[in-house]
Amino acid sequence: MAKGTILSGMRPTGRLHIGHLSVLENWVRLQEEYKCYYTIVDWHALTTAYQESESIKNNIREMLVDWLAAGLDPEKSTIFVQSHVHQHAELHLMLSMITPLSWLERVPTYKDQVQQLGKMGKDINTYGFLGYPLLQAADILIYRANAVPVGEDQLPHLELCREIARRFNHLYDREVFPEPQAMLSRVKLLPGVDGRKMSKSYLNIISLAAEQDEIRKQVNAMVTDPKRIRKTDPGNPDVCVVDKYHSIYTSGEHEDIRQQCRKGAIGCVQCKKRLAEVLEEQQAPIRERRNQYLNNPGYLDDILAEGAKAAREAAEETMELVREAVGI
Ligand code: TRP
Ligand code: SF4
């Protein structure tokens, strides 16, 4: 089996949207070839949401349901909640001893985020938030993972993780940790319905749980070519959000739709209607699976309990090596 070990995680900060599907599809494929650990990182959520922590538990459940509905299989992968495996915290602590403060302070997004969130009234000038990438390194190193499927935004965190692995191995003179590689996948980047970045707080997403009405409403809200007044006016699909979605979801008809748009042969109403149909076709089975899982809370608890048990065993093996290397 297994070309190696993979770990990846997501913060339970809210419902997933259809833009996350291509990330999950990638995770699903990797299950066939690697030993995969997929974790819902609730401690990471707490670094920024410590003042509104009451929603984290429910978000974990929703996220698990989204993952399963997208095809993650607990028979193939170890699926668990970060805080259920205390070894992550122990390794984080041990690594904190050898991590120069400057390495954390110079992570490119760090100061930026403290400022950005500060403006929104969130004080993340905390020890926990500074340690965010180190906790992430612990998540990865505790399974001695070889590869980490992530988006480009996470590359600095991965670089830090590798530096820490090297430093540990060097300081204690043994190869406890392999240096994990980032695995960038071609994720299809979708804008939100208003053309801005997809974000829950902009209300511009289509969630994985969206019912048909919601899908239609959001497709109708998509920004089209503003210069097009009548449906016979020639349009410019390049400035239209609907077109970006067609390129992904209606790929077989996409070129045709673009030509018709340019010629003024298709109206925006009809064009959106087609997109809403295709999206609904894709989402209906996912939504159905979500509902089945949500109606079966015992099953969800079992998955997380078994996942945590398997993860703890693997994590404890690493911790034994770590304690021995350090000599405590
Ligand atoms: N920082 C990651 C993100 O925001 C989440 C994360 C935490 C993670 N631990 C991880 C991703 C370990 C990959 C591996 O998306
Ligand atoms: Fe956009 Fe379709 Fe309207 Fe063209 S016809 S502007 S692609 S919605």
Tens-place pLDDT, residues 131-168:
999 999 999 999 999 999 998 889 999 999 999 999 99
* Segment holding 39, helix H or strand E: strand 35-40
What is the average pLDDT across 253-274?
96
Average pLDDT over residues 289-304: 97
Confidence of residue 200 (pLDDT cuts 50, 70, 90): confident
Average pLDDT for residues 86-97, to the nearest whole number?
Answer: 98
d(CA 48, CA 57): 15
Q: Radius of gyration (Cα) for the chain, nearest Å?
A: 22
Mean pLDDT of 211-227: 96
Of the pLDDT bands very low, low, confident and very high (cuts 50, 70, 90), residue 228 is very high
132 alpha carbon, closest ligand:
1
Report DSSP state, residue 137: H
pLDDT for the residue numbered 189: 81
What distance in Å separates the CA atoms of residue 326 and residue 107, rounded to the nearest whole number?
26
Q: Which tokens belong to 250?
A: 């209606």
Lowest mean pLDDT among 77-86, 128-137, 180-189, 231-240: 180-189
C-alpha of residue 34 to centroid of ligand 1, in Å: 18
Report the pLDDT value the prediction gives residue 239, as an integer from 0 to 100.
Answer: 96
The pair of three-digit structure tokens given for residue 261, joined into one six-digit string:
């748009």
- Taking only the tens place, the pLDDT of each residue in 177-191 is 999 999 997 777 889
C-beta of residue 126 within 8 angstroms of C-beta of residue 303: no
- State the ligand closest to the CA atom of 258: 2
Contact 218, 247 (CB under 8 A): no
Question: Which domains does the chain show, CATH number per domain?
Answer: 5-191+297-326 (3.40.50.620), 210-290 (1.10.240.10)
Q: Is the separation of the CB atoms in 291 and 299 below 8 Å?
A: no
Query: What's the whole-number mean pLDDT along residues 204-217?
Result: 95
Kindly tell me the burial class for residue 201, based on how many C-beta atoms sit within 10 Å of its own C-beta (0-12, 13-18, 19 or more). exposed
Q: Residue 25 — left, alpha, or beta (φ > 0 → left; ψ -120 to 50 → alpha)?
A: alpha
Q: Which atom of ligand 2 is nearest to the CA of 237?
A: 7
Collapsed DSSP state (helix, strand, coil) of residue 283: helix
Mean local confidence (pLDDT), 189-207: 91
What DSSP character marks residue 13?
Answer: S
As to burial, measured by CB atoms within 10 angstroms (0-12 exposed, 13-18 middle, 19+ buried), residue 263 is exposed
CA of 208 to the centre of ligand 2 (A): 24
**Longest Cα pair distance anywhere in the chain, in angstroms?**
77
- Nearest ligand, measured from the Cα of 275: 2
Distance between CA atoms of residues 160 and 303, nearest Å: 31
Which pLDDT does position 1 carry in this prediction?
56
pTM of the predicted model over 0.85: yes
Which atom from ligand 2 is nearest to the alpha carbon of 258? Answer: 7
pLDDT at 109: 87
Measuring CA to CA, how many Å separate 67 from each of 60, 62, 64, 134, 225? 10, 9, 5, 25, 35
Predicted confidence at residue 14, as pLDDT, reads 81
**How much is the pLDDT for 32?**
96
Residue 296: φ, ψ to 5° = -130, 65
Name the nearest CA neighbour of 64 among 86, 40, 88: 40
- Mutate-to-test residue for ligand 1 from 7, 10, 88, 184, highest number of ligand atoms within 8 A of CB: 10
Average pLDDT over the chain reads 95
